[in-house]
A and B are shown apart, each in its own frame.
Chain A
Amino acid sequence: MKIIPQSKIWAGLALTALLAAPSLIQAADTKLEARLIWGTNDEKSPNPDHKKVDDALAKKLKAMPFKWNNFFEVNRTNFTLVGTNYTKVVMSKQCSIDVKDSGKAGIKVKMYGQGKEMSRIEKSPLPKGEILAIAGDSKNESAWLITIKRTE
């Protein structure tokens, strides 16, 4: 019987572990939270269903170079990325995003407005707690924001 040197066994194990590590990392599902937010200087939203965002997020948003003081949450969706396929998330009737794992511990986002793809964004990595915000002008000197945060 041919005896395999111990060093070769260790090298083989190390190679196996190294090759398996990325697949194990990628095998974990990415759980995200997307919010559609309205930024305004109005104290109240015309829609009573819109609540002010929580203090933690409001503090972060106010620290950004925005001219708005109040931020109302219009919609919130929690979703999970499975594999490397895009997941569609509808934020409103005419605004949606496609999100997928970038493969580098981050995400790739396709931004749609009125059914048209507007832009593609990659943020890698996107660690837990980090927020990616996509925003633009809205009517009446207000703004829309989509925030995407990794929850797990």
Chain B
Amino acid sequence: MKHELELKLQALLDGELTGREAEEIAALLERDAEASALLGELRNTRTALLGNELEIKLPESREFYWSKIEREITRLEQAPATAPASAWWAALRRRYFASLGTVGVAAALMLTAVVHFRELSSDTFDVENLLDETTALTFRSEANKMSLVWIYDNEQPEAEPDGDFDDDDTIPQT
């Protein structure tokens, strides 16, 4: 059976056909048993639906019910007006808060670098004297870029002169 005929049968049942169309379908139904059977089935189905459809009664009046729907529609239409604020907040969170972990890692790295390079750049000028009979003094000349450690003998501040100087004389007096 053609789909067009099925639609026409449904339209006949719904009373949507013109008088001429209804006559044509009625003539067809007398000749076509299959179409007649389908019409009977559709009619039975419609009858069953109409007889068993649940009736819902509104707890309020019809006007009040629709006014609630209208208010809800109005509220939803006004919602986009406040959306930019939440969208702005969401964007802020995505852009900044989501990368908070990365910022934390970067801060930790910077702190490590600062500590490391502060240690590198810290000026240390330490002298550890290992002999009891000697003492060390330090002097720093910033202008001459020279740091001096002067080691002198506590007991023999000056060696006996021998009138000569060679490599052996250059040893520290211990």
Which chain B residues numbered 93 to 136 have a C-beta less than 8 Å away from chain A?
99, 102, 105-106, 109, 112-113, 116, 119-131, 134, 136
Residue on A nearest B119 in the bound complex, by CB: A104
* B4 at the binding interface (Cβ < 8 Å): no
* B149 at the binding interface (Cβ < 8 Å): yes
* A116 at the binding interface (Cβ < 8 Å): yes
Inter-chain residue pair count (beta carbon < 8 A)? 173
> Is A111 a contact of B165 with CB atoms below 8 Å?
no
Task: Quote the shortest CB–CB distance from B101 to chain A (angstroms).
Answer: 8
Pick the contact of A18: B112, B119, B139, B141 (CB < 8 A).
Answer: B112
Docked pose: A125 CA to B125 CA in angstroms? 9
Interface string of A58-91 (1 = CB under 8 A from B): 0010011100000000110000000000000001
Chain B residues, Cβ within 8 Å of A65: 139
Chain B residues, Cβ within 8 Å of A41: none
Residue on A nearest B124 in the bound complex, by CB: A124
* B169 at the binding interface (Cβ < 8 Å): yes
> Is A137 a contact of B153 with CB atoms below 8 Å?
yes
A interface: dominant SS = mixed
Pick the contact of B170: A95, A119, A124, A125 (CB < 8 A).
Answer: A95
Residue on A nearest B162 in the bound complex, by CB: A139
Q: Given A18-B109, A18-B112, A134-B149, decide whether A92 and B134 contact each other with a Cβ distance below 8 A.
A: no
> Is B173 a contact of A125 with CB atoms below 8 Å?
no
Q: Given A18-B112, A74-B167, A93-B167, decide whether A119 and B127 contact each other with a Cβ distance below 8 A.
A: yes
Interface string of A113-152 (1 = CB under 8 A from B): 1101111111111000111111111111110100000000
> Is B173 a contact of A133 with CB atoms below 8 Å?
no
Residue on B nearest A139 in the bound complex, by CB: B159
Chain A residues, Cβ within 8 Å of B105: 11, 15
* B144 at the binding interface (Cβ < 8 Å): yes
Interface string of A19-48 (1 = CB under 8 A from B): 000100100000000001010100001110
> Is B171 a contact of A119 with CB atoms below 8 Å?
no
> Is B123 a contact of A119 with CB atoms below 8 Å?
no
Docked pose: A118 CA to B128 CA in angstroms? 9
Please name 29 pairs of A and B residues whose Cβ atoms are closer than 8 Å in the assembled complex, sorted by A.
Answer: A7-B99, A15-B109, A18-B109, A47-B166, A60-B141, A60-B145, A74-B170, A93-B171, A104-B122, A113-B173, A114-B174, A118-B129, A118-B130, A118-B131, A118-B151, A119-B127, A120-B130, A121-B128, A122-B125, A123-B124, A123-B147, A125-B120, A125-B123, A131-B144, A131-B145, A132-B149, A134-B149, A136-B172, A136-B173
